[in-house]
Amino acid sequence: MDALDARLLLLLTDVPRLGVLECARRLGVARGTVQARLDRLTEQGVLGGFPPELDMAAMGYGLTAFAVLEIAQGSRTEVAEGLAAIDQVCEAHATTGQGDLFVRLVARDHEDLQRVIDRVVGLPGVLRTNTSLALTTPIPPRVRPLLERIAYDTNSR
């Protein structure tokens, strides 16, 4: 990825619905250049799509929790499939350290959270969980600082 790729991704981060022609105009390059770069970034897996940024609380899911799961050896695939079947599980990461999976989930309220945790604990292969509630999100998921470094800092490579 070079500086133009990063500037293109920054532009699309700010205005996800911007068309290829307008991207080209704002970046001062040809439309074909923008399209070729988008195609390459997609092919390389850097750009996976343009999902909308959603506010879970505004959607009715005001609680965010993080669960560290300890699972039986050899059951990661089975547990991950079980987690994927629970709508309120937003993401899961295989980790090192105290637990085996780090799971982010959302709930409408404390009662709903208990129901979701009960489903997680009930999955075959889950041995133990440790759940923490998020109180605030001072730094939401982001990629902007990395893109800005690539786009504007010639010493970063």
Q: Would you say the pTM of this structure is higher than 0.85?
A: no
Domain positions in the chain are 3-52, 57-134
- Extract the tokens encoding 42: 């997609």
Has residue 15 got a pLDDT over 70?
yes
Confidence category of residue 155, pLDDT binned at 50, 70, 90? low
Q: Which long-range contacts (CB under 8 A, 24 or more apart) does 118-122 make?
A: 119/86, 120/67, 120/69, 120/83, 120/86, 120/89
Which fold does the domain 57-134 belong to in CATH?
A: Alpha-Beta Plaits (3.30.70)
pLDDT for 153 equals 84
Mean pLDDT over residues 14-27, rounded?
94
CATH of domain 3-52: 1.10.10.10
Q: Are both 3-52 and 57-134 of the same fold?
A: no
Confidence category of residue 52, pLDDT binned at 50, 70, 90? confident
Mean pLDDT over residues 74-101, rounded?
97
Q: Answer for the pair 62, 29: CB distance below 8 angstroms, yes or no.
A: no
Left if phi > 0, otherwise alpha if psi is -120 to 50, otherwise beta: which for 60?
Answer: left
